[in-house]
Structures are given as C-alpha cells and as structure tokens.
Structure 1
Amino acid sequence: MRRIAVDIGGTFTDCFVSWDSRFVQTKALTSHHNLALGFNDALDQSCEILNVDRRELLQAVDSVRYATTLGTNALIERRGPKVGLLITSGFDSTIPISRGRGYGDGLPDEKARDLSRARRPDPIVPIARIRTVKQRMNYRGEVLMDLDEQDVRNKLKELVDAGVQAIVVNMINSVENPEHELRIQEIFEEEFPSSMLGAIPMVLSHQVVGRKGEYVRTSSAIIDAFLHSAMYFAMNALEQNLRENGYDRPMLLVHNSGGMAQLNSTDALKTLHSGPVAGIHAAGQLALQGDVQNIVCGDMGGTSFDIGLITEGGTKHYDFSPVVDRWRVTLPMVHLVTLGAGGGSIASYDPIFDTVRIGPESAGSDPGPACYDRGGMNPTVSDADLILGYLDPENYAKGAIPLNKRRSYQALEDICDEMDIDEVDAALLIKSMADSEMAAGLVRELNGGGYQACDFVFLAYGGNGPLHCCGIADKAGIRRILAPPYSSVFSACGGAGLDQMHIHEKNVSLGFYNKHTRSLYNQYDAFNALVADLEEKGRQDLLRQGFKDEDIQYVLELDMRYGIQKMEISIALDNRRLSKPGEVLAAIEQMNDDFGKRYGKEIVSPESGVWVTTIRVVSRVDLGTVTFDDLAPPAQRIAPPTPVAHRECHFQAADGAVATPIYGIEALQPGVQIDGPAIVNPGETTYLVEPGWTYVAAAQGAVWFLRNTPSDE
C-alpha cells in the first residue's frame, strides 16, 4: 500500500505516508495563505526519511487524501462570499426565525438553557438578501402552484444587482420533487451565463441534503454556498500543486461522514471537521484490530481538543442533525465535540473569578505561541508547558521549531502581575485549567451517553495529547490511557485507511408497527423501490469516479423511533430488501435491543408503535486500511533504559522543582515500564508521565499510561 494522507489543522499540517511496509509521520506549520507550502514542507520531510524524490513519491502512490479544517475556520471567522437566498413565497422568515429555539444552537449549555437572553448569530444571509418566488408543492411533491418564471427572473436580477456572489435555492418540499429548483437553475444560466458574470455558484437545497425540514435544509445549503469559494480555490490550489509535482490521479477529500470522495464529488459542507473525524475512524479500526473496547477519543492539537466515542465492537456514534458553529444542519456526520483548548490556545486573566481563562482564541501557526519566537505576544498552553519543563527547547517537533523560553516568561507577565504570582505558578494554573476544561468535556460527553468515565480507555493523540493526557485523566476519573501508534499524526493516519463512500438518504414515515391498526408494515415493493433508488444514486457516484460495479458495497440503515418518543436510533439491516413479516419483526427487535443498550431497557416501548423516519444507503468501495497489532500492555515488563538527560519540571502533585529523567526513542521498546514522573521524547511527540502514573510501551510504538491505585482503594 502506497498512499499519502494529510490533515491540515489550524496550527500544524500533519502528513502520514504509507510506503509498502513503512509508515512515516511528519509535521509542518500550516501555511494559511497557501496550504500547498505547508503540505510540501511536511511531504519533503517524509521524502528525506524514505530517501525518495518528491516527484517520485507522488507518481508512485495510489492516492493523496486531504482532511482539512479550512471550512471550519472560514465559518468561524466569517470569511466568505455574499450569499443570497431564493425561497418559496411565504417562507422568507424561515432562516431569520430559526425555529425560535435555534437561537440557542451552538451556545454553551448554561446559555442555551436561557433562550430568552440568547442572541441570534450574525446571519450569513441577512434579510436584505432573501427573495421569494411564487410556486408551491405539497408534501408529496405534487404541484399546487406552477413556478412563475418571470418572477424568478426578476428576483434573480435583484439578487445579482445586490452584489451576491453565491445563490441558494430552496423550494418547499423539493426533496420530494426537485423540478422547480432545477428549472430555476436553468433560468439562471439563461439569464446570466458564465461568460457574462463568471462563476457565481448556485446551490440547490435538494442536492445538498435529501431530508425534509425546511430550516435545517436551508441552513445546510447556505453554509455549503458560503464555504464553496474558499474550499474551491484552496483545494484547486492543492490539486494544481500535485499536478506540478507529477501526481496525475484525482485528489481525494475526507468527509465528516467517515468516508471520502473525489474533489468533484464533494460538497463543501461535508469537509467540516473532517480531520478529527478521520482520527475517530482510525480509533474505530484500532478498537477492532487492537482489541481495545470502549474508547473515548481526545485529539489535542494546536487549536482545539476534539472528543469522540467508540463503544463496544468499534461502533462510531453519528449525528444526523448536528450543529455547525451556530446553525443546525442535516447531514450524517460522525459525532464529535470540539473544545477551544489546544497547545496554541491563548490564556488570559479572568477578573470575575480571579483566575485564568483558556481559549477559545488560538495563536495558530502564524505567529503561533510566544515561545515559537515568530512574533506571538500572548501566553498559550504550550508556553506554560515549556516553563514547567515538559518541552525540550532544542528538540521540539524534531528540532524544526526551536523554542525560546524567555519569550514565554515575558508573555506571562500580565497574568503574574494581575494575580501576584510567579511564572511557574501561573504556568501550573494554566495547565490545570486547560486539563480541567478538557476533562469536563470528556465527562460531559460520556455522561450524556449514559456511560461512566472509569469504564473507558482514554485514547490520547494529536500533537499535545500524550503531553496532557495524565492531567486530563486524573481530573476525569479515568485510569487507563492509550497513546496510539503514530499518535502525533493519528488523524492523518485515519485518513490513510478510509474507504471511498457516499451516503444518500430519504425522509419517510413508515409504520413498521402501527399501534392503532395493530398491524406490521407490508408495503414491500414501495420500500424496496426507495432503497433501490438510493443505491442507484450511490452507484452512479462511484461509477463516475472510476470504480467497477462489482467493487461497490451497500449498507442499508433505518432511522427508527417509538410512537411516543422523539429519540431516534439508527440500525443497519443485514438484508437490503423486505419480503415477509419476519424481516420487519427482525428490524423491530434489533431496534429494541440497540435502543435499550443506549437509553435503558425500561423505556423500550414497541407497543406504542414503531416508525421508520429515514431510509439511508451507504455506498462504499473498500480501499484497504492501516492495520494495528494487538496493543494490550505486554505481560513481560522490562526496566527503563538509561535516561538521556534530566530536567527540572514542576507538577501539581509536587512541591518545587523535580529532577525528572528524560528518555529517548529506546523507551518505545515494547515492555519498557517507567514510573512517573518522567518524560519520553522520541522526536515525534512528548509523553509526559506525571506522578502517580506508570508508562508501559506496547506494540507499534503505542504507549499505555496506567494509574497507580493506592492500597486503600
């Protein structure tokens, strides 16, 4: 297997190269003005390790896969075009009202509970750029009012005159019948051909998502249109860079659904959070292959801390109506929670509570933390780690970024003056607050799913995951931590193991058990026709990308709920067609079992009716994955190697500086056991073994951190 996977983050660009039986991990600072520069820098480091030329490497690999937070950052910073909206007459307030409760979407829990004081987000499409057109279809897709084409032409001219740079079209019930949306697109091309205006993208809502729900469908299409230009130009620049270096295959983009597709088959909306999702995919593979059950993922990079869950059997959790920034959208996305706590998160004084606040602002890669000595003036979590002695100023990022401790001390001066403490105490406080925020996020996510932290393994990865994992786990009540193989670029590693995949779905309302008539669903032909239509859409997507019919695999999923409850659960059916009552009963029984495991058996209530609300078909081609060995802690332990140095470090659990042994790459030999405090720095990342923890090296460079249990517990 020869392939390249890249995760472009807010601070670092991570590169993972699979070259036959060798796996190479490298990092470079993200070059936001031209993403190709950071990619080339990281790739050249891999080429040097493999002793091959960049062009030779790119010509020999079977694929290049990109995961990126470019869209996420553009949305946060509101960097995008002026978007206009065409919507059915009478529905022009759909987005401004945002269902009322939408004011609380994306807010912290304590603010979301007080909707009366919640502030709506600054709109991507203000009211002045919303236009309505005369037409109407009912919920079955039957035309009640023909499209007024002259009205469409007038409204398009108004939007163009207003200076819009992208147009979203949402006709009510267009998922049932897209005829009017498609005709509007034709009219737009007639009135404003590309030769006149250039490329003004028009996004049709039914092509972005296949679900009903006018608000979430409209907001999904608006975000897709808002990100389209930024993604189009950035990704085309990356693809052009590949062409110039001899790579002639289609570039692949990682999707937040846990799959990937070619650039020309990717909506901008599907790239949001794609980097962290790739890491969760790798965690799922690790759980299955490495025999590690019940994992809570913690990806701590330079900008954020991303949390995901992998439960027994390698099962990933999905959101089907996730919140993106401040807007609820509707698309299948691997569930994750993002906190503004990374190595580059800025620490500031909080006068209300007389303490420090961490993030969500980040120093990013330019200028970066103060210790990078690139012009950054604000104190960050990485500056605190350097002052506490955890980071090696001469060997950070394999020596590519020399650190300046003096700059870190200077950056902390304001906090020290406000709180009347010295720099070491300020750094300890920053680390404690950062660890506490991340631990609270882990616990909140686990408790929300009905789980307990003590029953899970904390999978700590990202550039700063193994550095902070012990402090996070201590505060979360977790006793077992695994820093996986290739931990510093684990999300990029996940991208190397993804399948090419497309998901198509359709809203339905099918009573698999109707309590009023006490009957089972029996419209098998209608059900099978819907499934066949969704399979054909996925088939065409993959055939267009060069795959063969026999390579395509399909999975049928149903979103189901009980008649008296709003909670839905997704199940995958072994058979993709229905032909007899026993198959309907098997689906109901599977739902009962999965629902009971997730929410509790006491609220399983099929007697209230069982309804299917969405039919979903996952079409995929298996392209192979990165394999993981059995990663259990070795039973046979060996003594640690001779330390390469000692450094004075500061810990919450110790008074004053502690002479801490520093170990090199020899400490990654399977079976090596080291009692904390200790630091292991093989070059790619830093493993911090805090007091009370034991370090145990496992296969493939994986590392376990095991909490020492006091004798009285």
Structure 2
Amino acid sequence: MNFKGSNAILSGPAGGVVGYAMTTNLGQPVIGFDMGGTSTDVALVGTGETTLVPVEVGGLPLLARGLPLHSVGTGGGSLAVRDLAGGLTVGPESAGARPGPACYGRGGKKPTLTDAHLVCGRLHPDAFLGGDFPLTPSLARLVVGDLGRIEGLNPEEMACAILEVALADMERALRRVSLAEGHDPRNRILYSFGGAGSLHAASLAGRMGMRRVVVPPHPGAFSALGLLTSPLRRTFTRSVLERLPSMGRRRELFSPLVKRARRELIAEGVAPSRVRIKRIVELRGEGQAGEFPLVDGPRLRERFHKEHIRRFGYAREDNSIQLANIRLQADGPSSSPWKKVRTRCYEPKPFDVQPAWMPEGKQSKKAFRASWYIRERLLPGALIHGPACVAEYSATTVIPPGWLAKIDGWGCLVLEENS
C-alpha cells in the first residue's frame, strides 16, 4: 500500500540497520557495513537526529529520503584487473552469478575478490554454503597467479595485493560517511552484514581505529530479515519557509500531518495506542542552501548552532535561523524473532586448522595457523582467539591475530581487538 519505487532504492542496507536494533542492546552508535557480491554500502547509524537525508543515485538527487549512505563497486564477485596504466583495480566490473568466481568451476577466467580470499586461506573450500557448494582452490590459484606473474608475484602475494586494494576502496567509503561528516569512527561499532562483509570487517575496523565489530546471525540474509521485522512506517513532509517559529506554532504546523499519519496507520491495522510519532524540523541559516534535520523539541537554536559547529567548525549565532521543512515520521509496532539468552563462557574445538594469509596481521607476508569453526555449532558464550575463521551458511568471518571473538546472548558474533 502506498509503495513508491524510489523508497526501495538502497533498502538492503536499511534493512540491516533495522535488524541491528532488534539483535543487540549495545546502545552505541554504529557504522553499518553491508558487503555482498557486487557492491559495498556503508551507513552512519545512531547519530540521533540526522537519520534521513536526500537520496542520490549516480550523483542525481531523488525526491526521496534514506539513511546517510555511501556505496562503492567492490563485492565478492568484483574482478581484479590491470587498468590502462598497469595499476591494479578491484571492481566495479563483476563476474556476476554466471560464470562467477573462477573457484566456482563454472568457466570463470578472471580473478575475483572471492578467489583471492580462497588463495589466502580465508575461505574454506569444504565449508562454503554449509558445504553444499565446494570451491576449487586450484582454479583460484591459476587465475590469481596469472595476474601476478607480470609483477613476479606468487599467487599468495598477488591475492594479498588484491585484498589490500579492495580494503583501501572500502576504507574510503567508511571515511566518507564518518570523518568527512565530522564523526569520529573510534567511538562507533562496525556492524557487518552481507555475504562478504565479515571477511573484511575486522581489517577495516583496525584501519579506522574501531575496537569492536558485530556480525549478526545469518549475515548474508540479514537485510531481508531486518525488512521482514521492520515496523510499519509513514513519513510526511511539508515546506514551511519561516523564521524559526515558537514551539506552539510548530505544533500547529505538525497537527494535520499527525492526524493523517494516525489515520493511515490505523487503517493498516495498527492500534491507536501503539502509533509512535516523531517530529523532525529541517533548519538552515538564513541565506544558506543546506538544511539540518533535528528532532523537534526545546533549545532548537542552541542545538542548531552545535550541529553547525560539529559539521563546519564554526557557527554564526547572530544569523537568523529558518525553518525550511517539517517532517513527521509515524511508526507502528515491530516484531523481533530474536530473544536474548544467558551465556556460558567456553572455548570450542576447531573442526580444522589451515594456513591463512592475513594482510591485517603485523607479518602480512607470513601465513598464520588459523583455526576453523562452524558458527551453527557455537553456543552463546563461545570464545575464539584469532587468527581464526568462522564459517556459516551465508558468510565467513575472519578473526585476525590479536582479536578475540565471542558469541553473545543475542547470537551475534562480537569481535574485539585485544588491548
């Protein structure tokens, strides 16, 4: 009902963010990191008031709003190739589902990021998709080795170089949504989902000075799970263009939107007592072009200047403030399939130990002895010391040297860097 195609753009990462709120009570702002087969999407979450921003696709603005999000064309199926200048690039060209990575054994002739992980021992050939889809390491080594032969690199060295290039692209995306917007990533948790996200999450967190990574249950399908459990929401916007009005005047402006929102949600079957209303005002300095969304309430002027200082480093407190738009967000109740359980600390036994090259380690040219675990067999409270890898049906999580992982009471895999 009332579906608009523009609202579905980049909804996958948004679904993961919704799921975050339902699978953890960490109470900290996060950076959402969604990496799949063709792209990586990162979003700043938990900043309180700047929750929705105008959406752009290919640099073109849409009449729609979404999470502050940045995308790069790097995913598990991204091809590693030499550009015209001889430089190594990873993506945006992808191997696609067919033929897919060379290690799939379906005729792929070019190396992908997935092939590089397999050569580095960061994917287990017998545990991919729960063991239902065995991978062929020899095919991955062949195509990765061909790419590295020009530079005199062996397959492992070339695979590590591919990982480094991909990590650099993803790091730029993380910096774009955090540091470029005035947010310190060190105060945030990296929340990783998507089928390929947890292969890189700890590496990226270490580069950004972040000490904690959370990988939710079923990361490869987590966006879909989040969308299925998300609350029913209606959003209404109205242009105002007035100098900052009083709170009474703002309530008067919001009144017709509140009535409409309640009417629509009740028509969808939401009980009147369970409708939640959030009033947002979009403010700007007089003569300025961009607006700041703030939750309506007291001390708006003070909060506007504080946000201006955070973003730009200064505030013109003598300048008039203009209310450009009002936006009302109405939510119905949400349902979560997850329940927190008690944990009991223990150290599980690995099902395998194999050499793995981990560029994030201090000795990137050295293969570590990495322990392998099956996530579906781990109980809440399980402790795993890196270097290790945790395989599950929809993803693999790499735990670098110097990191510790634990299954918490929500079923999340929480990685922390040792002090």
Band of TM-score, shorter chain: 0.7 to 0.9
1:97-176 counterparts in 2 under 5 A?
Answer: none
Whole-angstrom distance in 1 between the partners of 2:334 and 2:376: 34
- Residues 454-500 of structure 1 deviation map (CA, whole Å, 9 limit, x = unaligned): 22211122111222112222322222212223333221221122111
2:60 aligned with 1:323? no
AA at the equivalent of 1:641: P
2:147 aligned with 1:415? yes
2:2 aligned with 1:270? no
1:198-277 counterparts in 2 under 5 A?
Answer: 262=1, 265-277=2-14
Q: 1:273 to 1:369 in 2, by over 3 A?
A: same
Q: Which residue in the other structure is 2:44 paired with?
A: 309
Q: Which residue in the other structure is 2:403 paired with?
A: 693
Which secondary structure does the structure 2 equivalent of 1:309 belong to?
strand
2:17 aligned with 1:280? yes
Q: Which residue in the other structure is 1:708 paired with?
A: 418
AA at the equivalent of 1:293: Q
Q: 1:628 to 1:290 in 2, by over 3 A?
A: farther
Which secondary structure does the structure 1 equivalent of 2:204 belong to?
helix
1:131-530 counterparts in 2 under 5 A?
Answer: 262=1, 265-286=2-23, 290-311=25-46, 317-319=51-53, 321-352=54-85, 354-512=86-244, 524=249, 530=253
Give the TM-score, by structure 1 length.
0.54
- Residues 655-684 of structure 1 deviation map (CA, whole Å, 9 limit, x = unaligned): 443332222347733333332211222444
Does the 8 Å contact 1:432/1:471 carry over to 2?
no
Whole-angstrom distance in 2 between the partners of 1:455 and 1:599: 19
Whole-angstrom distance in 1 between the partners of 2:194 and 2:133: 17
Which secondary structure does the structure 2 equivalent of 1:397 belong to?
helix
2:296 aligned with 1:573? yes
Whole-angstrom distance in 1 between the partners of 2:254 and 2:67: 22
Whole-angstrom distance in 2 between the partners of 1:474 and 1:540: 48
Correspondent of 1:645 among 352, 364, 376: 352
- Give 1:595 shift: 4.8
AA at the equivalent of 1:619: A
Does the 8 Å contact 1:459/1:483 carry over to 2?
yes
AA at the equivalent of 1:318: L
Which structure is higher in helix share?
Answer: 1
Whole-angstrom distance in 1 between the partners of 2:247 and 2:84: 62
Does the 8 Å contact 2:15/2:224 carry over to 1?
yes
Is there any run of 5+ residues in structure 2 with no aligned partner, and where? none
Correspondent of 1:670 among 380, 387, 394: 380
- Give 1:298 shift: 0.8
Does the 8 Å contact 1:358/1:430 carry over to 2?
yes
Does the 8 Å contact 1:349/1:418 carry over to 2?
no
Q: Which residue in the other structure is 1:557 paired with?
A: 280
- Residues 672-702 of structure 1 deviation map (CA, whole Å, 9 limit, x = unaligned): 3332211222444322111222223322321
1:575-594 counterparts in 2 under 5 A?
Answer: 586=298, 589-593=299-303
Does the 8 Å contact 2:283/2:291 carry over to 1?
yes
2:326 aligned with 1:615? yes
Q: Which residue in the other structure is 2:335 paired with?
A: 624
Whole-angstrom distance in 2 between the partners of 1:412 and 1:599: 48
Does the 8 Å contact 2:68/2:177 carry over to 1?
no
- Residues 207-235 of structure 1 deviation map (CA, whole Å, 9 limit, x = unaligned): xxxxxxxxxxxxxxxxxxxxxxxxxxxxx
AA at the equivalent of 2:59: R
- Residues 151-206 of structure 1 deviation map (CA, whole Å, 9 limit, x = unaligned): xxxxxxxxxxxxxxxxxxxxxxxxxxxxxxxxxxxxxxxxxxxxxxxxxxxxxxxx
Whole-angstrom distance in 1 between the partners of 2:137 and 2:398: 19
- Residues 262-320 of structure 1 deviation map (CA, whole Å, 9 limit, x = unaligned): 3xx2111111111111112223445xx5123121111111111111112366x66321x
Whole-angstrom distance in 1 between the partners of 2:65 and 2:281: 12
- Give 1:401 shift: 2.2
Q: 1:530 to 1:641 in 2, by over 3 A?
A: closer
- Give 1:561 shift: 1.7
Q: 1:403 to 1:547 in 2, by over 3 A?
A: same
Is there any run of 5+ residues in structure 1 with no aligned partner, and where? 1-261, 514-519, 575-585
Whole-angstrom distance in 2 between the partners of 1:620 and 1:673: 38
AA at the equivalent of 2:27: V
AA at the equivalent of 1:366: R
Q: 1:530 to 1:312 in 2, by over 3 A?
A: closer
Which secondary structure does the structure 2 equivalent of 1:389 belong to?
coil
Does the 8 Å contact 2:238/2:325 carry over to 1?
yes
AA at the equivalent of 1:309: L
Look at both structures and tell me which one has the larger radius of gyration over its CA atoms.
1
Whole-angstrom distance in 1 between the partners of 2:47 and 2:334: 24
Whole-angstrom distance in 1 between the partners of 2:265 and 2:247: 32
Whole-angstrom distance in 2 between the partners of 1:591 and 1:285: 33
Whole-angstrom distance in 1 between the partners of 2:280 and 2:368: 55
Does the 8 Å contact 1:668/1:701 carry over to 2?
no
Which secondary structure does the structure 2 equivalent of 1:331 belong to?
strand
Whole-angstrom distance in 2 between the partners of 1:676 and 1:619: 44
Give the TM-score, by structure 2 length.
0.88
- Residues 9-61 of structure 1 deviation map (CA, whole Å, 9 limit, x = unaligned): xxxxxxxxxxxxxxxxxxxxxxxxxxxxxxxxxxxxxxxxxxxxxxxxxxxxx
Does the 8 Å contact 2:79/2:90 carry over to 1?
yes
Whole-angstrom distance in 2 between the partners of 1:395 and 1:281: 29
- Give 1:351 shift: 4.8
AA at the equivalent of 2:326: I
Q: Which residue in the other structure is 1:130 paired with?
A: none
